[in-house]
Structure 1
């Protein structure tokens, strides 16, 4: 079957090698089929990976973003779409929302404008500083366990393109369950390893876990959640960002050439809404 690896769902278990990428072994659990970076829970100092040019790097075609803050209006558009989905399912009068992996806080700002009481957490020092200084948001640097929120005090927890980055997603979801009131909502977006659109990238150490609908559902079940909605995620992308990402995905040289060309004629910030290889999952705390 293969060497033993430690699966967050099954513990030590035989696993088969899927691919070796960027000096990491990506393996598949022989019991539950979860795909993950071998030894993900032992990785340290990942906060340095999310600093420097991660959010602003002209040559970022595989990791990170070309210019995250310049695409603020696009992030806000995507935030409004997700918030509408959440609000259709939210019950009760509570309006406390925690965004785990909140980056610069654009989703939190959109939530605040719709009457939510926003809290966020992120490991990037630069992103947290921006959210605090430029947006005036209550954002903590660290992980979910660093948030000073009492148990059963939160109505919605979101992990928007976050769970695949975590070294221990089970621990994070258990912490989310402790913070959420009974019946509270959890919203997750993450790449689907079995997505129908067929484009997918192995990106360690940026992405450490590669979920299918089945493995994510099992993780949610074991951490106290019931899945209510799962669908393909449609998102707005800036044309420059989209072009650079596709250029990098196809492995073509000079991935920023397309982005520069669009920006030179004033089209780089125009946005299009397209289906992605990500899934949106809404789950409710038992």
Structure 2
């Protein structure tokens, strides 16, 4: 069913003059059906590719103002150290150690660990407050900017990460394409985002805590996110349903290197088993590892 939300929706809050209607970001379809109405925002599903998103939503300029003024406390990172280090080992396994760009790097906790582990680190963060904290932690390679406005030389990064970022983007497809240009051939893109197919999301629907339409503009699952990436020139390596570092932690406990033949075999087996279990459990988050397809440059 094609809907003209500009005409049909009665916007009920003070931000109604800062809204814009959009088509589907994956397939550009305008055939949309309503799913939820929450906090004054309509959440719709694309009838052609099943992408779920807010429509109409806050205009890009309004969102920039919100994110630039967001404040952060300088948090300690000790509880996340092990997970960060294991993640970096996985990145090295898939793409080799080198340059890494964290989009939406917040206070730079992850990049601090990456720098200490030998990576050349870069970060993008829209919040002025968080950007200053990250610069103090990591250095001048932290830039205050949005993902849509990033500018680096082509074929520069081994790895680009977006942790809990893609759901906030105004134009995910545009950003995904930009990142492809920044990655070296066979470079790695890692995206973590809430999973719309989680059991909690299905059970409580509009009350799901990740359903935050003012800032969460898109809601992906393990079909729509790989579809977006594949259509933009990436090969999907793995879709993890929560805790992608758990298999590597088990291998480390056995004192087996992941780069050995036995280590690689165990890693792929354990990842498959745990992913199957988590698919049944319906975990809240998913992490997609995607590789830039080789191409002549």
Q: Provide TM-score, normalisation by structure 2.
A: 0.72
Shift of 1:20: 1.4
1:44 aligned onto 2:61: yes
* Partner-residue secondary structure (3-state), 2:223: helix
1:282 aligned onto 2:285: no
Counterpart in 2 of 1:142? Answer: 145
Cα distance in 2 for partners of 1:137, 1:277 equals 34
Aligned residues: 234
Structure 2: stretches of 5+ with no match in the other structure: 5-21, 246-281
Alignment CA distance shift 1:41-1:86 (3 Å): farther
Cα distance in 1 for partners of 2:187, 2:244 equals 25
1:81 aligned onto 2:100: no
Contact in 1 for aligned 2:195/2:222 (Cα 8 Å): yes
Residue in structure 1 matching 2:175, options 172, 177, 183: 172
The Cα RMSD (Å) is 2.4
Contact in 2 for aligned 1:224/1:285 (Cα 8 Å): yes
Shift of 1:81: 3.1
Shift of 1:136: 2.3
Contact in 2 for aligned 1:6/1:39 (Cα 8 Å): no
Shift of 1:103: 0.7
Shift of 1:134: 3.9
Shift of 1:10: 1.8
Identify which range, 105-114 or 46-55, moves more after superposition: 46-55
Residue in structure 1 matching 2:195, options 192, 196, 205: 192
Contact in 2 for aligned 1:101/1:120 (Cα 8 Å): yes
Shift of 1:51: 5.4
Counterpart in 2 of 1:214? Answer: 223
Normalized per residue, which structure has more helix?
A: 2
Cα distance in 1 for partners of 2:283, 2:75 equals 21
| 1:1-286 paired onto structure 2 within 5 Å | 1-4=1-4, 5-40=22-57, 42-50=59-67, 55-56=72-73, 69-91=74-96, 95-144=98-147, 146-196=149-199, 198=201, 200-201=208-209, 202-234=211-243, 276-286=283-293
* Partner-residue secondary structure (3-state), 1:234: coil
Shift of 1:106: 0.8
Cα distance in 2 for partners of 1:181, 1:40 equals 34
Per-residue CA deviations over 1:153-202 (Å, capped at 9, x if unaligned) read 11101011111111111011000000011100001100110024557431
Counterpart in 2 of 1:271? Answer: none
Alignment CA distance shift 1:89-1:31 (3 Å): same
* Partner-residue secondary structure (3-state), 2:242: strand
Cα distance in 2 for partners of 1:188, 1:154 equals 15
Q: Provide TM-score, normalisation by structure 1.
A: 0.74
Cα distance in 2 for partners of 1:49, 1:144 equals 15
